[in-house]
Structure formats: C-alpha cells, structure tokens
Amino acid sequence: MQTNRMAANKVAIITGSGRGIGAASAKLFAQHNYAVCINYKSDHQSAQQVADMICASGGRCITVQANVAEEQDVKSLFNRVEKELGQVTVLVNNAGILKPQMRLQEMSAQRIQSVLTNNILSCFLCSQEAVRRMSTKLGGSGGAIINVSSGAARSGSPNEYIDYAASKGAMDTITIGLAKEVASEGIRVNGVRPALIYTDMHVDGGEATRVERLKSAIPLQRGGSVAEVAEAIYWLASDKSSFTTGSFIDVTGGL
C-alpha cells in the first residue's frame, strides 16, 4: 500500500486505472483530495507507476489487484478499500477489454463472451457492491457512480468492434436503469462516452494509429486526450453535477 499522512474523507475506486483514461482519472481525483484505489487486473507495474506519481504529489492511494468480472474479487476489492481508505464515495467503472478488429461473422463465440463478460459483468458487479455501501436506505452516505462507456455504443462500430460496441450499449442501459433505481437513495449514476481518444487500447484492437487514420472525420479535426475524458468523469463525480443523474457526456470531438 502507498499512503501519506493526508487525511481524506472522499474515496474513489477506479477500475482498470493502471493506464489510459483510468490512470488519468486516478491522478485527477487525487489532485482533488480523493483517496484513490488504483485497480488493475494483471499489470502491477503500470498501476504502481500511477501510484508513485500520486504519492509523489502528496496524494493518498492504494493499488489493488482484482478481476472485476469475478464476484469474489469485487467483494474483496471493496472490503480492502473500506478497511484501508474509508467509505467509498465514488465508483468509476472504467475497466474494459477490446479485441482485434474484425467483422461480426469472423468473431468466435469465445471472443464475444469474453468481451461481454469483462465489460458488462464488471459494471454490474462493481455497481452492485457500491450501491450496497453507498445507499442511504442501507445505512450509507450516498455517492456517485460513473460508467465509462464509448461513442461506439451509438455508432455500433461496424467492421471493427461490434461486440465491444454492444457491451458499451449495455453499459448505457445499466446507467439509465440504475440511476432511476437509486436516485432516492443518495446515489447518482451517469456515463461518459469517449471516442477516438489517444490510448493504448488501440494497440489491443490491432491498430495503434487508428485515431490518426480517422481524425479527419471528427468535427474538431483531432483525437482526444485521456485528460479531457478524466475531466468529464470528475465533473460527474463532483457536487457541481449534483442535479445530474441518468445522463451522459459525449467526449467525442463532435462525432
């Protein structure tokens, strides 16, 4: 665990925060005096680098390895955060996977199941555990859940990642339904839909330079940064969005 002596009464769990949007979000929340849980599935080195940067700036954080598509891992993750950092006030469902580009007819059932399980089930399980701890009806103090979806949920991502797009569409549905379900319990649920952001995830999809290839189709004529997405996530977690729930911010450059 990495901590300093700074007290914090705001605690954020950010899943998949060892790199990309998750890492940028972890740093931003730490800058705003959140104690942050940096969750990772297997890449401890990247998560540790994020933690080192946060601690070097005077922040407070822990790194926790957990496969958030596994129920017991999720329970253990939340239990550890509550024990070491305090009551969770923000959950950012950011963890997700992307497979190489291909058309639907080429996708194996195993691939589709893997994408749907990792991207959808993780959102269900983490949100479920967060509600159990945040709900004012269950003794909690309220909180915010932000789901990191994708512009692919609206475009469908034809010829590339229909399975990924479908998983993000499901995440949007979870956002709307859960927001209505827990609004009276002190919990706000919102989503951020990034598109064509410079992240390592494009390497996973088999085209590291994908943003460069497609940026001319973006009205703003450029790709987005992880920091720009993190700012949208943070706003939805903050009191400045206190009357916002069941809503989405599209960080897409106008697409």
Instruction: Name the active-site residue from 40, 161, 164, 234.
Output: 164
Alpha carbon separation from 13 to 17, 26, 81, 228, 237 (Å, rounded): 9, 9, 8, 19, 12
Report which of 57, 71, 33, 56 is spatially closest to residue 237, judged by C-alpha positions: 33
Question: In angstroms, what is the C-alpha Rg of the chain?
Answer: 17
The span from the first CA to the last CA of the chain, in angstroms, equals: 41
SS3 label, residue 204: helix
Report which of 44, 20, 31 is spatially closest to residue 97, judged by C-alpha positions: 20
The rounded distance, in Å, linking the Cα atoms of 131 and 174 is 13
Report which of 17, 24, 42, 29 is spatially closest to residue 237, judged by C-alpha positions: 29
Q: What angle separates helix 109-116 from helix 162-182, to the nearest 10 degrees? A: 30
SS3 label, residue 151: coil
- Specify whether 40 is catalytic: no
Total Cβ atoms within 10 A of residue 128? 13
Catalytically active residues, by annotation? 164
